[in-house]
């Protein structure tokens, strides 16, 4: 959630940010009307409370003087009734104001390129040699089914489309990736966390996923809880309503969780294989930092995610997202995309964002400076990494002419074999 200074003091910056993100300014007209009404109700309520106090004093004086107080009692009754009505309207308007303000996205950082969509993103760097094959590389679903490590037919019978069963060495490879990611990040100073994957609505509001992305999530209506779409939600709530001493920052966390997404807006896209599924595994990186250090920590987090792909020997590129392609809560985002030769395209394997104090305001997480001052922390999140796209990249980049797949060297102790053979 944004600081209200953008509505009242830095309006030009807010309007420019919304335009650059592709948002209509109509939302601000509604917010302005609610804000004006809210302040008028507050003003009127204060006037009525003041009159109520005056009447109370006058009643006391008249009683002492033995004078009639009937007219004051009548006025006091009218004031009390109006005050109740005004307070109710103020409460209702205040609720609507904050609900609408919660739909306003974060302000992009000045270094973010202005653009409409993914075509306007900027490739920052590329790593690794794109392999030249002496045969036609297959897509991962063909490789997985041929090796008996991916079973889409069984998954469809038990759960429907956009699910997969990992079998044998496929299941072992998936678990190997999770453990490798966790072990590597833990050695780099991240504290491992295994959080709940069912959360309350207020946790999703704190992370910025509610109310805007309600349709993208799976809700347990009976209990009013949600399956998390990412461990970012859980990690963003680790210190909710807390004040963290300055000297304890930055805090680094890493968590593995299964993630659940309805993919409501992607009908007909990437329906084959495990490119876009409803349930997947992901290792998430998360940081709580001082505001003045957050962009340094952002670059370091990108490098931490890159290091995994370098160790796996998978070609990738880092892409700086433009204003129109960034997520709702982000002030700046880098995507890390892996090369999939069987698909002949780049696939996003990680998204690393600095949300500045956007989530901290929703979650009420502040830091205490050494001089006692309090301010909101900056919060960062990033995939380190999501397993499906990395699994795809391994199968497609390391496939051999005989149908086998070579296991990257750093994973061999985890998997127990050097090659998966037909």
Residue 232: CATH number of its domain: 3.30.930.10
pLDDT band at 17; cut points 50, 70, 90? very high
Task: Please give the average per-residue pLDDT across 251-275, as a whole number.
Answer: 88
| Catalytic residue chosen out of the listed positions 276, 307, 317, 361 | 276
- Mark whether 154 and 190 lie in a shared domain: yes
Per-residue pLDDT at 82: 96
Do 217 and 291 lie in one domain? The reply is: yes
Task: Given the residues 284, 297, 389, 396, select the one marked as catalytic.
Answer: 389
Please check the confidence at residue 195 and state whether its pLDDT lies above 90.
yes
Mean of the pLDDT values across residues 322-342? 98
Q: Is 389 a catalytic residue?
A: yes
Same domain, 32 and 133: no
Residues 191 and 332 in one domain: yes
**Same domain membership, residue 320 and residue 263:** yes
Asked about 361 being catalytic, the answer comes back as no
User: In residues, how long is the chain?
Assistant: 422
* pLDDT band, very low/low/confident/very high, at 270 (cuts 50, 70, 90): confident
Overall number of domains in the chain: 2
Looking at the structure, do residues 31 and 136 belong to the same domain, yes or no? Answer: no
Same domain, 409 and 288: yes
Indicate if 351 belongs to the active site: yes
Q: Is 132 a catalytic residue?
A: no
> What does the pLDDT read at residue 269?
73
What pLDDT does residue 289 have? 98
Residue 248 belongs to a domain: yes
- The packing angle between helices 70-101 and 26-65, to 10°, is 160
At which residue do the structure tokens 């993914």 appear? 118
316, burial (CB in 10 Å: exposed 0-12, middle 13-18, buried 19+): buried
Whether 165 has a pLDDT exceeding 90, the answer reads: yes
**Selected catalytic residue, list 203, 294, 350, 351:** 351
Tell whether 8 is covered by a domain. Answer: no
Is 272 tagged catalytic? no
Q: Is residue 5 part of a domain?
A: no
- Please indicate, yes or no, whether residues 90 and 178 belong to a single structural domain of this protein: no
On whether residue 73 sits in a domain, the answer given is yes
Q: Taking the complete model, does pTM exceed 0.85, yes or no?
A: yes
256 forms beta bridges with 283
Helix (H, G, I), strand (E, B) or coil at 97: helix
User: Per-residue pLDDT averaged across 43-62, rounded?
Assistant: 95
* Stretch 346-358: mean pLDDT: 98
Could you tell me what percent of the chain has a pLDDT over 70?
A: 99
Q: Please tell me the distance from the alpha carbon of residue 194 to that of residue 282, in angstroms, as a whole number.
A: 12
pLDDT digits (tens, 9 = 90+) for 175-188: 999 999 999 999 99
Q: Is 267's pLDDT higher than 70?
A: no
**Residue 42: CATH number of its domain:** 1.10.287.40
**Is 125 contained in some domain?**
yes
Q: Are residues 360 and 404 in the same domain?
A: yes
Domain that holds residue 36: 24-101
Mean pLDDT score of the chain: 96
Other C-beta atoms closer than 10 Å to the C-beta of 350 total 29
Whole-number pLDDT of residue 265: 65
- Asked if 84 and 130 sit in the same domain, the reply is no
- 169-187 helix and 294-312 helix, angle to the nearest 10 degrees: 140
Task: Give the residue from 75, 101, 127 where a domain finishes.
Answer: 101
* Confidence (pLDDT) at 192: 98
- pLDDT > 90? residue 268: no
Checking DSSP bridges between strand 191-193 and strand 251-260, what pairing results, if any? parallel
Q: Which position among 21, 38, 162, 261 bears the catalytic label?
A: 261
Mean pLDDT, range 4-17, rounded to an integer: 95
* 317 shares a domain with 238: yes
Q: What is the pLDDT of residue 242?
A: 98
State how far the Cα of 409 lies from the Cα of 93, in Å rounded to an integer. 61
- Indicate if 290 and 367 belong to the same structural domain: yes
Q: For residue 67, give the DSSP letter.
A: -
- Does 3 reside within a domain? no
Q: Given 72, 101, 130, which residue is the final one in a domain?
A: 101
- What's the confidence (pLDDT) of residue 266? 65
Single residue among 35, 68, 101 that ends a domain in this structure: 101
| Catalytically annotated residue among 348, 368, 375, 412 | 348
Asked if 350 and 308 touch (Cβ cutoff 8 Å), the reply is: no
């Amino acid at each position: 959630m944004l600081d209200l200074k953008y509505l009242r003091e830095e309006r030009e910056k807010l309007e420019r940010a919304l335009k650059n993100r592709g948002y209509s300014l109509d939302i601000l007209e509604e917010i302005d009307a609610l804000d004006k009404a809210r302040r008028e109700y507050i003003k009127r309520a204060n006037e009525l409370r003041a009159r109520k106090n005056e009447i109370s004093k006058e009643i006391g004086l008249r009683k002492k003087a033995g004078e009639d107080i009937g007219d004051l009692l009548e006025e006091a009754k009218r004031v009390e009734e109006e005050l109740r009505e005004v307070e109710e309207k103020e409460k209702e308007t205040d609720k609507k104001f904050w609900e609408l303000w919660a739909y306003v996205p974060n302000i992009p950082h000045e270094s973010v390129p202005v653009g409409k969509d993914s075509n306007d993103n900027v490739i920052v760097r590329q790593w690794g040699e794109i392999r030249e094959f002496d045969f036609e590389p297959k897509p991962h679903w063909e490789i997985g089914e041929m090796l008996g490590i991916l079973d889409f037919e069984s998954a469809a019978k038990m759960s429907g489309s956009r699910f997969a069963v990992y079998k044998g060495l496929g299941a072992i490879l998936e678990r190997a990736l999770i453990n490798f990611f966790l072990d590597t990040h833990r050695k780099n100073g991240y504290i491992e966390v295994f959080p709940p994957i069912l959360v309350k609505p207020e946790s999703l509001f704190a992370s910025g996923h509610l109310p805007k992305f309600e349709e993208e999530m799976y809700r347990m209506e009976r209990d009013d809880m949600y399956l998390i779409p990412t461990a970012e939600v859980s990690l963003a709530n680790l210190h909710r309503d807390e004040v963290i001493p300055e000297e304890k920052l930055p805090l680094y966390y890493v968590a593995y969780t299964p993630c659940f997404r309805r993919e409501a807006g992607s009908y007909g896209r990437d329906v084959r294989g495990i490119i876009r599924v409803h349930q997947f595994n992901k290792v998430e990186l998360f940081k709580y930092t001082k505001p003045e250090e957050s962009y340094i920590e952002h670059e370091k987090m990108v490098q931490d995610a890159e290091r995994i792909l370098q160790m796996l020997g998978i070609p990738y590129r880092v892409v700086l997202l433009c204003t129109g392609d960034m997520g709702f809560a982000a002030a700046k985002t880098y995507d890390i995309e892996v090369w999939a030769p069987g698909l002949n395209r780049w696939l996003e394997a990680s998204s690393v964002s600095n949300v500045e104090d956007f989530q901290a305001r929703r979650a009420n997480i502040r830091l205490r400076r050494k001089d006692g001052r309090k301010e909101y922390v900056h919060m960062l999140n990033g995939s380190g990494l999501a397993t499906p796209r990395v699994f795809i990249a391994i199968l497609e980049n390391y496939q051999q002419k005989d149908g086998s797949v070579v296991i990257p060297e750093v994973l061999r102790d985890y998997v127990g074999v050097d090659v998966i053979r037909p």
